[in-house]
Amino acid sequence: MSDENLIPLRVIDPKDENNKIQVTYNDMVNSFLAVANEHWQTIEIEGVSSAIREAAARFNAFEADFKSGNLAADRQNAMDWFTEQYGDALGSFLDEMIARREKEGTS
């Protein structure tokens, strides 16, 4: 991931609105991946991947509901937006994997 994707995020503590702790986008992504890799030690990769997708879908639905004044009316827009975001990210990382395998000669 390039530096342009390093998005500093402020950690929100509901008890302390002056909290200025920062975490980068990559740190957050890597922490989720660390948990997935930990589970992968004892669970088949398909199970870990499926759990990640469901967790993302649940949290994305929560985000859509949180941001929407009328989720029923905004449902298709949310579906389209999240689907496009996931498709773009997956395509990019698949291309990265393909390029890495070709470089290693193991495509």
pTM: 0.76
Each residue of 50-77: pLDDT tens digit? Answer: 999 999 999 999 999 999 999 999 999 9
What total number of domains does the chain contain?
2
- Output 5 or 90, whichever has higher pLDDT: 90
Each residue of 4-50: pLDDT tens digit? Answer: 555 555 555 656 666 666 778 888 899 999 999 999 999 999 999 99
Token readout for 107 is 């495509």
Range of the domain at 66: 44-107
Q: State whether 100 and 63 are in the same domain.
A: yes
Q: What is the pLDDT of residue 57?
A: 96
Q: State whether 18 and 54 are in the same domain.
A: no
Q: State whether 11 and 35 are in the same domain.
A: yes
pLDDT tops 50 at residue 1 = no
Q: State whether 64 and 87 are in the same domain.
A: yes
Q: State whether 52 and 5 are in the same domain.
A: no
Q: State whether 32 and 74 are in the same domain.
A: no
Pairwise CA distance, residues 33 & 37, whole Å: 6
Q: State whether 21 and 1 are in the same domain.
A: yes
Side chain identity at residue 90, one-letter code = L
CA 19 to chain centre: 24
Q: State whether 38 and 76 are in the same domain.
A: no
Q: What is the pLDDT of residue 2?
A: 46
Q: State whether 49 and 27 are in the same domain.
A: no
Q: Quickly count: other Cβ atoms within 10 Å of residue 81's Cβ.
A: 13
Q: State whether 36 and 81 are in the same domain.
A: no
